[in-house]
Structure 1
């Protein structure tokens, strides 16, 4: 009996404290505003969080692609500056050959 009454007394005490607040129209208006902004508004908090996560992912991709662009520019500069590098690149990437050569493609696993 006493084990059941203690939680009930605490619940009754909480209800007695909260009930007058819920009758106050300003508190109701503030709660409605918070709920509206949190869930129903066009720019609600859930969508803002998802959009911020998407922005972070896109920024990571941007950094990756910028690094890739820089490495490709460096590679292009090397190819344009040295004809031997250009010939090596053409042979490796496009399997180009001289008329009297044979090509053997070795695929490493």
Structure 2
């Protein structure tokens, strides 16, 4: 206590720190700004995550709409056959299929690049 009186006589503007209510408010303020799970700084990080998740949500909703349109098209037998021929290289009986690949069209493994 003697130490506090020496400091307050030397620096009178620190006299209000002797009040226990000010000390409690100061402690709570520091706790809320820096140490709490929902601190001011943590809020910014959480806001960025929310924005990223909202963007992901919009992307997946668009993908869902696109896939729903593709499913509607695949209910038609002609479209199903076309999709199977293009995607899975299926063929009709007595029919030959020639697959022509150009450079850059196929993905290469990392292992084949290093060899």
TM-score, with length taken from structure 1: 0.70
Q: When the two structures are aligned, how many residues end up with a matched partner?
A: 94
Q: 1:37 aligns to what?
A: 32
Q: 2:73 aligns to what?
A: 78
* Residues in 2 aligned to 1:17 and 1:90: alpha-carbon distance in whole angstroms: 86
In the TM superposition, what is the alpha-carbon distance from 1:50 to its structure 2 partner? 1.8
Structure 1 residues 5-45: Cα deviation after superposition (integer angstroms, max 9, x where no partner): xxxxxxxxxxx574234344333322211111122223223
Change (3 A) 1:96 1:25: same
Unaligned stretches of 5+ in structure 1? 1-15
Q: Which of 88, 104, 107 is the aligned partner of 2:82?
A: 88
TM-score, with length taken from structure 2: 0.67
**Greater share of residues in helix:** 1
* Residues in 1 aligned to 2:74 and 2:13: alpha-carbon distance in whole angstroms: 76
Q: Which of 22, 37, 47 is the aligned partner of 2:17?
A: 22
1:43 alignment partner, SS class: coil
In the TM superposition, what is the alpha-carbon distance from 1:106 to its structure 2 partner? 2.8
Q: Which of 76, 98, 101 is the aligned partner of 2:95?
A: 101
Change (3 A) 1:106 1:31: farther
Q: 2:50 aligns to what?
A: 55
